[in-house]
Structure 1
Amino acid sequence: MNAQTASTRTSATSGRQCSPAGRVTRSLLGYGVIAGPVYVAVSLAQALTRDGFELDKHAWSLLQNGSLGWIQITNFIVTGLMTIAAAVGLSRAMTAGRGRRSAPLLIAAYGAGMLGSGIFTADPAQGFPVGTPQVTTVSWHGMLHLAIGGAGFLCLIAACLVLGSRFARAGLTGLAWMSRVTGVAFLAAFAGIASGSHGPTVPAFIAAVLLVWAWLATISVHFYRRTI
């Protein structure tokens, strides 16, 4: 009888794992895992090969300019859409509790910020592309790029803190600390680069971006494993 019960439970679990809704949710969460590697790989490939671009000086947004700017524009748009898809997956996977509604919405807003930053491109600046003056005038689309991107960053920081609180309440200490550290580190890096200062602020911001994508991948995997 016990063996029969165990067999029945195993069959039921297998059936749930193969449910159409679960497959859709897992597929959406998968975008949270691949979004970061795609964005970073495409950005770094350009940063290391495009003439005049300096990793320790230029923000990756500047890659939207020049004859090859369409690559980074596409990178922003595609990554933004993948982030929104991951947020939809989170909204389907998360059960009742703190951040059930707000966290996916905040992550979706971050994805929308990337999407908007791809549509409204950054202005050439700081000598890139080659021949650009160090100081340039900010255009209307450059202003929108900064405003939309900044709003998305703030939503991302809020999402980190909200999920950090949720994980702490659930006793998931590692995820709680990772979420909170990611939010605080990204806030500090964003404040540094938004101040307009150069030097270590650009590498620090790149490091914070890498941390953010690692965090999104980690929480996507966490909820992926709990989706049946």
Structure 2
Amino acid sequence: MFYISTKKLLAAGMMAGPLFTFSWLMNGAVREGYNPLRHPVSSLSIGSGGWIQAVTFLIVGILLLGFSLALIRILKSQGVSVGGARLLALCAIGLIGAGLFVCDPLSGYPSGLHTARSDRSISGILHDMFSAFLFIGYPIAAFKFYKIFGQKKESAWANYTKFSALAFICFFIITSMGFGQVTGFVEYGGLFQCITLTIFWIWVMLVSLYFLKRDRKVVMK
């Protein structure tokens, strides 16, 4: 039976964020007309070179799924609720779905295009639906981990996780205003989305390190 060690699955969580960030930064730098301050990361999946971002979503989603499996194993062994870890698995499925379905043009990319709600494609609707798994799932998962860290008497980690979730929610709201074409926010929708995603990926990476250091007996299995 195919088996991947918990340690390797936690390492997958550490790799996911840097890979995702490096990919969109490099891809965005060479895409004509793409402005990272204004346009969504998902817009890089549109067009002839869009396969790079699509594959990035798929690979990173699989890495995050592995990370969530590692957390499920560890938390089960400790008799702790795995609800938060399962929500992270849902976030991973969201990323995979975002890679399978291309988003619609937004905020002027590509070629100055913007898709009205009434003109959205099936692919664009599905992309947004799967993306919502991440943007809604992570804050809920984080609050569950906030409780877990509280039970472990890890007050610093509990407070950091709560702060991460609240910051994620705030920046996601501002992002939504930008992509919703609210005056004064449109030009910076992409920037706020990048901040939102970075908050998430930093938390994933740090939690990976936490469990690698604190739960060596389980991790080595």
Q: TM-score range by the shorter chain?
A: 0.7 to 0.9
Q: Between Structure 1 and Structure 2, how many residues are aligned?
A: 205
User: What percentage of aligned pairs have identical amino acids?
Assistant: 24
In the alignment, what sits opposite 1:227? 216
Alpha-carbon distance between aligned partners in 2 of 1:206 and 1:133, rounded to the nearest angstrom: 21
Please show how residues 72-151 of structure 1 align to structure 2 within 5 Å: 72-94=53-75, 95-96=77-78, 98=80, 100-129=81-110, 131-136=111-116, 137-151=119-133
Q: Kindly indicate whether residue 140 of structure 2 is the aligned counterpart of residue 158 of structure 1.
A: yes
2:158 to 158, 176, 182: 176
Alpha-carbon distance between aligned partners in 1 of 2:200 and 2:187, rounded to the nearest angstrom: 21
Q: Kindly indicate whether residue 43 of structure 2 is the aligned counterpart of residue 54 of structure 1.
A: no
Deviations 1:169-228 (A, max 9, x none): 212122112211111111122222234132344312211211211110111111122132
In the alignment, what sits opposite 2:44? 63
1:132 Cα deviation (Å)?
Answer: 4.4
1:101 Cα deviation (Å)?
Answer: 1.4
In the alignment, what sits opposite 1:206? 194
Q: TM-score, normalised by structure 1?
A: 0.84
Alpha-carbon distance between aligned partners in 2 of 1:49 and 1:118, rounded to the nearest angstrom: 20
Q: Which runs of 5 or more structure 1 residues have no equivalent in the other structure?
A: 1-20
Q: TM-score, normalised by structure 2?
A: 0.86
CA contact (8 A) 1:97 1:166 kept: no
Name the amino acid aligned to 1:71.
Answer: I
Deviations 1:56-77 (A, max 9, x none): 1001000000110000000001
CA contact (8 A) 1:182 1:208 kept: no
SS of the residue 1:53 aligns to: coil
1:192 to 154, 174, 179: 174
Q: Which runs of 5 or more structure 2 residues have no equivalent in the other structure?
A: none
Alpha-carbon distance between aligned partners in 2 of 1:29 and 1:181, rounded to the nearest angstrom: 22
Structure showing greater Rg: 1
SS of the residue 1:133 aligns to: coil
